Structure 1
Amino acid sequence: MALLMYQKKWIDDRSPVKFWEKSRRIGASWADAADSALVAAMSKEDGGMSTYYLSYNKDMTKQYVADTADWAKKYDLVAGEMEEIVLKDADKDVTIYQVRFASGFVVQGLSSNPSNLRSKQGRVRIDEAAFVEDLGELLKAALALTMWGGDVAVISTHNGEESEFNQYIQDIRAGKLDYTLHRTDFDEALQAGLFKAICGVKGDTWTQANEDAWREKTITRYGDGANEELFCVPSKSGGSWLTRNLIESCMSPEFLVITWEPPADDFVDWPLDIAHAEVEDWCEEILLPLLQELPQDCKHYFGEDFGRSGDLTVLAPMTEYDDLSLYIPFLVELRNAPFRTQEQILFYMVDRLPQFSGGALDARGNGQSLAEFARQEYGADFIAEVMLSQTWYREQMPPLKAQFEDRTLLIPKSAVVLDDLRGIKLQKGIPKPPESSTQGKEGQRHCDSAVSIALALFARNTIEVDTEWQCASAGGGMSQRIISGY
């Protein structure tokens, strides 16, 4: 049976520490055992070393070592049979399993007691890590082996949002830990050929209809636990993703939220030159003084969450100081703003951001046009057109939470901003805005400022340009071209 792509990717990752959040029964441990057999068969000069497998379940440790022995036979490696060794102890005898290779290295299955790793040297595999008694202590003991060239692999399905395993996953995504992260849910495994591989082992004929039926049967069997067991979604604990205290601790009353609204119901029908002049006057009066106060020697980024007649468009400029602290000095809310007005205000702001270094815009639906205009104006190297999706929220919201937790992001002190951030909820394990908007005292909102701030942080974290962007004019853009000649 050939290894599937996600199994090969896992084996090819030679990071000192790697994590894998996964669906059940996709062959993760089985594939890892293949790698352990090959590494144990090598000489020390070629990088060979022993592997120590730990989990909460005795049967799992026995199975891993048995799989290693089977792989050794398939690879025609010189190794013994699996041994069962009973270690006498005053309190309780301990059974371990091992395969010894001609190289002198072993693959050994142990219980999840951290003391089992004392005086060991080699690789550590912690399986179903979300279910071990004290993952933190176990991982701490395992990391000691990396000092001498070993590596640590942590594999598990989820066991609730509050589990230590999930906290590690979130910290990795937030960039707090420099571990590599793999993720394979049930559907991703099927797309990679899992059911075809199962059919090959069982001697069954694969058809798409059979795979679809097997998928539905498997999901039904897990019932309410399917999301966690199969789709890498830790079970919910409820409540807001960001607490009020955490948000308010990162708010400054010196920072403002400013709002532009049409001066009249028929503003969209005004002649373009008059509408442009009206918006220009607002920018000069309200926006320019805030822009002039920005530090000239700091890099600036921005994020934009798009809305038109319902939700708001929110522009979030971001200042990065020398100590890497980040400020959102003000937020610009555009309510019911015509598309050309949004472009005009956006370009007015960006043209005056000192050391402008990048921006990220919501490119879903109608927002795609404004994102495209920005890319054409400032260049593809400086502008990220972001299709907000579950994957984007899953990967990019944890860094936002990390900034709040580290108190390295300061935002305007505003009730609407607080509500937007508290509106982010965990949905199937992913922090994101709810599906529908909410109606507040000041109109409809959809976590708009929260998303714009997250996009600004995304721009800062991902856009790297060697040269500083230079503004060619004080205004410009589509709006100025449109009114040319008036």
Structure 2
Amino acid sequence: MAAAVPLTGYQAEWVNDHSRYKIATKSRRIGFSFATALEIALDVVERRSPWLTVSRTQETAKEFVREIKRHFSAMRMVAEAAAEIEEVPTDLFFRDMRLSMFRLELPNGSSIQALSAHPDAARGFGGNVFLDEFGFHDQSEELWRGASASTMRGHRLIVVSTPNYQQGKYFDLARKCELIHGHAPERKQGIWSAHWVDIHTAQPQLAQTGIRIDLDELRALADDEETWQQEYCCGFLSASEMWLSLELIAQARSSVATSEWDAERPVEGLLYAGMDIGRRRDITGIWIDEVMPNGLAITRGVLPLRNTPFHEQLEVASAICAHPKMRRMCVDETGIGMMLAEELKRRHGYICPTR
């Protein structure tokens, strides 16, 4: 069955590469998840095929299944496009938070299951596996053991990621497949079919499909050479330059944490916040945590206020303090923050001025 959507050359090569094991090192935002969703959509309508996709977060896991459904619609696969995405609670927990699986069952018996990255995500599953942004998955070695064993009976294993640091299972795979040298290697690397696409390769091909990317603007937005090389030029960052180890960072990461504050979201625990004051050169930052009954603190919002007048900062902070689950906000009262800390304390009482 032919795809009903326009593809770049590198996307077409990826979709048409039916190797049992294939891996890609790629730039951000150049359509590899889109292409892989298309490949899986084509596979599950042509034959009865089980797939497990593992993404970095629960939301990206669900969005990937939505992308597959959009491909069904584009291919006019009416029955498949009408299939409902079922959210199923699992027995997996991350920091005492139960994880959900997103499942799509098709009329021909094919199935797609999508989970966020968890070391046991692939345990008990047998079938094809797709690891999306694998370089950013926590406990990647444990996840790899389960995922690789899931494919032992002739199923496929697809690995895609933007580079991260020079450690972890994805970096090991990329190194073995000659994907760390800043250029595309020979396609066949042992049992793997290796693909490499940086932003310079992708940009002219994307332009042919109507997607225009200004590389100078993108580089200016990246704002530093390290970010540019890692996010867009397929460069792995040196682990020796990290202030915090990946293990320590992994322990503090959560798929349920978010920087988007939503005052209407149900809150199980109690809310605590901190506010650092700025005005012109420095931004004001408000960080909101929910402390769960077990003592775990999960980020529920990060609000950067850039060049915001003090009276507006006061109202934003006051609205957060008015949340019924808010228990304390610590406010920097040094210098320009003194008035804000004083007024918030007058209004709400449980403000803790800090120096």
TM-score, normalised by the number of residues in structure 1: 0.43
Q: 1:55 is aligned with what amino acid?
A: S
- In 1, Cα distance between equivalents of 2:44 and 2:113: 11
- In 1, Cα distance between equivalents of 2:88 and 2:240: 45
Corresponding residue for 1:93?
98
What SS does the aligned partner of 2:152 have?
A: helix
Corresponding residue for 2:329?
none
Q: Post-superposition shift, 1:197?
A: 2.7
Matched, 1:147 2:152: yes
- In 1, Cα distance between equivalents of 2:146 and 2:90: 23
Corresponding residue for 1:180?
193
- In 1, Cα distance between equivalents of 2:35 and 2:142: 26
1:88–1:126 distance in 2 versus 1, CA, 3 Å: closer
State which of 99, 118, 121 in structure 2 corresponds to 1:116: 121
Corresponding residue for 2:206?
194
Measured against aligned partners, the alpha-carbon deviations of 1:83-112 in whole angstroms (never above 9, x if no partner) come to: 241316485432222222111111221122
Name whichever structure is richer in helix by fraction. Answer: 1
- Check whether the contact 1:65–1:82 (CA below 8 A) recurs between aligned residues: no
- In 1, Cα distance between equivalents of 2:210 and 2:103: 27
Corresponding residue for 2:76?
76
Corresponding residue for 1:137?
142
- Check whether the contact 1:86–1:96 (CA below 8 A) recurs between aligned residues: yes
Identical aligned residues as a percent: 24
Measured against aligned partners, the alpha-carbon deviations of 1:311-333 in whole angstroms (never above 9, x if no partner) come to: xxxxxxxxxxxxxxxxxxxxxxx
Matched, 1:31 2:35: yes
Measured against aligned partners, the alpha-carbon deviations of 1:140-170 in whole angstroms (never above 9, x if no partner) come to: 2122233222111110001122343222111
* Bigger CA radius of gyration: 1
Corresponding residue for 2:55?
55
Corresponding residue for 1:15?
19
Corresponding residue for 2:335?
none
Measured against aligned partners, the alpha-carbon deviations of 1:400-447 in whole angstroms (never above 9, x if no partner) come to: xxxxxxxxxxxxxxxxxxxxxxxxxxxxxxxxxxxxxxxxxxxxxxxx
Q: Which segments of structure 1 move beyond 6 Å, counting only runs of 4 or more?
A: none
Q: Post-superposition shift, 1:183?
A: 0.3
Name whichever structure is richer in strand by fraction. Answer: 2
- Check whether the contact 2:163–2:231 (CA below 8 A) recurs between aligned residues: yes
- Check whether the contact 1:50–1:106 (CA below 8 A) recurs between aligned residues: yes
Corresponding residue for 2:285?
none
Measured against aligned partners, the alpha-carbon deviations of 1:105-149 in whole angstroms (never above 9, x if no partner) come to: 112211222423233232111011111012222222122233222
- Check whether the contact 1:22–1:183 (CA below 8 A) recurs between aligned residues: yes
Q: Post-superposition shift, 1:65?
A: 0.3
Measured against aligned partners, the alpha-carbon deviations of 1:373-416 in whole angstroms (never above 9, x if no partner) come to: xxxxxxxxxxxxxxxxxxxxxxxxxxxxxxxxxxxxxxxxxxxx
Matched, 1:161 2:166: yes
- In 2, Cα distance between equivalents of 1:231 and 1:152: 25
- In 2, Cα distance between equivalents of 1:198 and 1:99: 31
Corresponding residue for 2:229?
227
Measured against aligned partners, the alpha-carbon deviations of 1:251-291 in whole angstroms (never above 9, x if no partner) come to: xxxxxxxxxxxxxxxxxxxxxxxxxxxxxxxxxxxxxxxxx
Q: 2:53 is aligned with what amino acid?
A: Y
Matched, 1:105 2:110: yes
- In 2, Cα distance between equivalents of 1:96 and 1:31: 22
Matched, 1:126 2:131: yes
- In 2, Cα distance between equivalents of 1:76 and 1:41: 12
Q: 2:209 is aligned with what amino acid?
A: A
What 5-or-longer segments of structure 1 have no aligned partner? 200-205, 240-486
- In 1, Cα distance between equivalents of 2:221 and 2:210: 18
- Check whether the contact 1:68–1:107 (CA below 8 A) recurs between aligned residues: no
Q: 1:233 is aligned with what amino acid?
A: G
